[in-house]
Amino acid sequence: MSQKIRTRFAPSPTGRMHVGNLRTALYEFLIAKHEGGDFIIRIEDTDQERLVEGAVDIIYRTMAGTGLVHDEGPDKDKGYGPYVQSERQATGMYLKYAKELVEKGEAYYCFCDKERLESLKTEVAGKEISVYDKHCLKLSKEEVEEKLAAGIPYVIRQNNPTEGQTTFKDELYGEITVDNSELDDMILIKSDGFPTYNFANVVDDHLMEITHVVRGNEYISSSPKYQRLYEAFGWESPAYVHLPLITDENHKKLSKRCGHSSYEDLLEQGFITEAIVNYIALLGWSPEDNQEIFTLDELIEKFDYRHISKSPAVFDIVKLKWMNGEYIKAMDNEKFYDMAMPYIKEVITKDLDLKKILDMVKTRIEVLPDIKEHVDFFEELPEYDIEMYTHKKMKTDSAISLEVLKEVLPMLEATDDYSVDNLHDIMMKYIADKGIKNGTGLWPVRTAVSGKQMTPAGAFEIMEVIGKEETIKRIKVGIEKLEAAV
RNA sequence: GGCUCGUUGGUCAAGCGGUUAAGACGUCGCCCUCUCACGGCGAAAACACGGGUUCGAGUCCCGUACGAGCUGCCA
């Protein structure tokens, strides 16, 4: 008889949502939903300096867009609110809990100023290291009261023992033990009265009855300190699930520099939400079978956090593109038209059958913006080199192409039916009568009407779309070009 | 520097003491084809290294190397 699982996504509103954060949110959502549990959103805005306006909206938009629907959050209070830490802070609760620890000797007031702290820094191996020396722990109760009364700025620090060890258990990594001497006296309450993440997350996770704390691997080394906090309060610690990092191609923690590091960046690059979610779900987790394409519901059903990997994963945009292409191919046409229309309209302004063109392109693109380079020739015949008429495998060269175009032109002028079927009949009859292979007859025509080496469809389909007038015009251009060269 | 974690093909990733070490992306080749794609078929490509334990180790243990994370009044 186990209790209902409760996980939380606790982002700080500092900008766009990084894919690492998104994946954390996804896994938190999946772990809860797989077991029919609750998924909670808590806004961790304790760093007032890094706050970015509108960032909370981005969080909501991302969650809604990806389908990670929360059961509780700032907008859905189920009795554990408020769900925004600045609002919680305003109630004085964090300070109250911190004082409780001070009473117990598990924390202490610290009045050290910037200069003194600065003097504690030492440089080791090119990095600045600073370990607090418990200077203020020596202060007597009276001295503390005095300084407090005098209004001297203070922080409250955790009082960690210098001997012994602390152990916590991660669901993936197992038991992790560190010497207490490694644990520095981290700040619980900052001088502006706000709690640090380190403190607030422990208090809130407990108060909100979070059963599984799921977070990035970067927190694994601070977890022993959190563990000591739980023990100091006498609270039962939650199950911990630390997630492996997502890195760039150089195996470094994904940075904002990558340009493809946030969910919104990806959308702007023409990726579709379902593909992004699907792809990141597989970055650090794999199902028991070899399935790769998942709907969110399928992920909920299949997701078992015990199969999460322990080693970091490289974010591979090439595979994401492949997956995006799979989603596009499987997408129903109406939805594809809706999504693709803005892109095709960037390059085609003429009154052409855009849906027909989009049908041609659907299996050939990986991201939406790819459409443009495939279809721009419909708008206007590009400048092209007559070398394109020469193709060994098609058995064509300039002379043959000129001959074909000249012979085909009158036939195309003679009909008004520019349907693929009719065009097909005309051309195939010509090819049969002349006794040449299909490619020999069609290559020159396709080249003339497109001006491109590669096109998303064959000659008939292109002619149907651009129509009689434009077809004739382009074939004449081809004839002129070829004649000029002979 | 210290601490912690990690290490299967270029990438994601199966494997949990006995396998010809899966699969996917990418790459290359072939087929299909009026081009390019799609689709189909196929190929190259990996257990970081050294010691143990064991009849037997990618799988367990210990070292080494390498990588990453942390070492903030950021989360």
| DSSP per-residue letters across A214-276 | EEEGGGTTTHHHHHHHHHHHTPPP-EEEEEPPEE-TTSSB--GGGSS-BHHHHHHTT--HHHH
Report the protein residue whose CA lies nearest the C1' of nucleotide B10.
Answer: A249
Distance A373 CA to B34 C1' (A): 20
Question: Quick one: pLDDT at residue A315?
Answer: 96
Report the protein residue whose CA lies nearest the C1' of nucleotide B24.
Answer: A292
Distance A429 CA to B16 C1' (A): 65
| Burial grade of A389 (CB within 10 A; 0-12, 13-18, 19 or more) | buried
Question: Quick one: pLDDT at residue A316?
Answer: 96
Cα(A440)–Cα(A191) distance, rounded to whole angstroms?
A: 81
Find the mean pLDDT for residues A352-380: 97
* A258 pLDDT above the threshold of 60: no
Active-site annotation holder among A4, A104, A253, A256: A256
Read off φ and ψ for residue A346, nearest 5 degrees.
Answer: -70, -30
Q: Which nucleotide is nearest to A46 (CA to C1')?
A: B75
Strand B nucleotides, any atom under 7 Å from protein beta carbons: they are 1-8, 10-15, 22-26, 33-39, 67-75
Report the protein residue whose CA lies nearest the C1' of nucleotide B72.
Answer: A130
Question: Quick one: pLDDT at residue A252?
Answer: 87
* A300 pLDDT above the threshold of 70: yes
Cα(A22)–Cα(A263) distance, rounded to whole angstroms?
A: 8
Find the mean pLDDT for residues A222-242: 97
Question: Quick one: pLDDT at residue A2?
Answer: 62
Helix, strand, coil fractions of chain A, as percent rounded to 5? 50, 15, 35
Distance A216 CA to B62 C1' (A): 29
Distance A174 CA to B62 C1' (A): 19
Neighbours of A379 (CB within 10 A): 14
Q: Which nucleotide is nearest to A322 (CA to C1')?
A: B25
Question: Quick one: pLDDT at residue A255?
Answer: 67
Report the protein residue whose CA lies nearest the C1' of nucleotide B75.
Answer: A197
> Is-catalytic flag, A256?
yes
CA distances from A62 to A22, A70, A133, A303, A427 (A): 8, 12, 43, 21, 52
As a whole-number percent, the residues of chain A with pLDDT over 70 amount to: 98
Q: Which nucleotide is nearest to A326 (CA to C1')?
A: B38
Find the mean pLDDT for residues A35-49: 96
Q: Which nucleotide is nearest to A130 (CA to C1')?
A: B71
What mean pLDDT value characterizes chain A? Answer: 95
Distance A403 CA to B57 C1' (A): 71
In sequence order, what are the residues at sequence separation of 6 or more whose Cβ sits closer than 8 angstroms to the Cβ of residue A462? A378, A446, A449, A450, A455
pLDDT digits (tens, 9 = 90+) for A303-328: 999 999 999 999 999 999 999 999 99
pLDDT digits (tens, 9 = 90+) for A90-139: 999 999 999 999 999 999 999 999 999 998 988 887 888 889 999 999 99
Return the closest-CA partner of residue A68 out of A274, A291, A323: A274
CA atoms within 13 A of residue A103's CA, in its CB half-sphere: 7
- Reported as a pLDDT band with limits 50, 70 and 90, residue A257 is low
Distance A197 CA to B73 C1' (A): 11
Asked whether the ipTM of the predicted complex exceeds the cut of 0.90, the reply is yes
* A460 pLDDT above the threshold of 50: yes
pLDDT digits (tens, 9 = 90+) for A3-34: 899 999 999 999 899 999 999 999 999 999 99
Question: Quick one: pLDDT at residue A439?
Answer: 95
* A1 pLDDT above the threshold of 80: no
Q: A257 or A264: which carries more pLDDT confidence? A: A264
In sequence order, what are the residues at sequence separation of 6 or more whose Cβ sits closer than 8 angstroms to the Cβ of residue A26? A66, A68, A277, A280, A281, A299
* A260 pLDDT above the threshold of 70: no
Return the closest-CA partner of residue A272 out of A372, A365, A348: A365
Distance A287 CA to B14 C1' (A): 9
Cα(A467)–Cα(A453) distance, rounded to whole angstroms?
A: 20
- Reported as a pLDDT band with limits 50, 70 and 90, residue A254 is confident
Cα(A442)–Cα(A477) distance, rounded to whole angstroms?
A: 17
Question: Quick one: pLDDT at residue A253?
Answer: 85
Question: Quick one: pLDDT at residue A244?
Answer: 96
Distance A273 CA to B10 C1' (A): 27
